[in-house]
Amino acid sequence: MTDAPPLKLLARDAEDLSVMAAALQDAVIAVKEMRFLPAERRFVFAVNRFRWEDAERPRPAEGTPIYERVHCGICFEGVNTVRRQGLDQQRTGQIISLLSMEIEDNRVDLQFSAGITVRLEVDGLLCHLQDFDEPWPTQWRPVHPLDDERN
C-alpha cells in the first residue's frame, strides 16, 4: 500500500471536471448510493474508486495485490434538477461504473455503464471529491478496448 495522501479535488470549470473524471473513471457505485438533496441543492454519491494516480508505480512480486481502490465521496453543489435516463429506480442494488463526466451550458452529464446517464442542471459548476477510509489492495486493473490495442 502507498503512503500517498487521500485524494481531494475541487472542480469549478470543464478542465477541472475532466481531471476529476479521469480520477473517477471506472469507479464502481451502487445505484442506491446516489442522492439528490433538493432542499440543499446537492447531488451526492459515494463510489469505490480505482486509484489511477498510483497505477504506474513499481510493482511487487508477481501474484500479489498490486493496485488499490478506495472509497470516495462526490458532491455537486447548486443543483436545480436531476434527470435520469436508462436508470431503473426499482433496481437500487444495481452496481454500475462511472465512465465519464462532462459539462456543457450548465448541464453536467454523468455517463455510467449499462447506458445510464444522470444529468444535473446546475447554476454553475462546483464539485467536491474526497477519498475517505483506507485504500485496499486489488490485483485487478480496469482494462479498456484501446488499452488492448496498444499492447
Q: What is the pLDDT of residues 52-101, one digit of tens each?
A: 887 777 666 665 668 899 999 999 999 999 999 998 777 778 899 999 99
Question: Cell match 480520477: residue?
Answer: 23
Contact 98, 29 (CB under 8 A): yes
Instruction: Determine the pLDDT at residue 145.
Output: 66
pLDDT at 3 over 90: no
Q: How far apart (Å, rounded) are the C-alpha atoms in residues 33 and 36?
A: 10
Contact 135, 68 (CB under 8 A): yes
Instruction: Determine the pLDDT at residue 64.
Output: 65
Q: Of 64, 75, 29, whose CA–CA distance to 49 is shortest?
A: 29
Of 33-42, 97-106, 137-146, where does mean pLDDT reach its minimum?
137-146
* Confidence band, pLDDT 50/70/90 cuts, at residue 150: very low
DSSP string, 73-136: EEEEESEEEEEEES--TT-TT-EEEEEEEEEETTEEEEEETTTEEEEEEESS--EEEEEEEEEE
Instruction: Determine the pLDDT at residue 1.
Output: 53
Q: How far apart (Å, rounded) are the C-alpha atoms in residues 89 and 83?
A: 12
Residue 97 amino acid letter: S
Contact 12, 135 (CB under 8 A): no
pTM: predicted TM-score of the whole model, two decimal places: 0.86
Q: How far apart (Å, rounded) are the C-alpha atoms in residues 79 and 83?
A: 11
CA dihedral sign, ordered 116, 120, 125, 128: negative
pLDDT in tens, 6-45: 999 999 999 999 999 999 999 999 988 999 999 999 999 9
Q: How far apart (Å, rounded) are the C-alpha atoms in residues 129 and 8?
A: 6
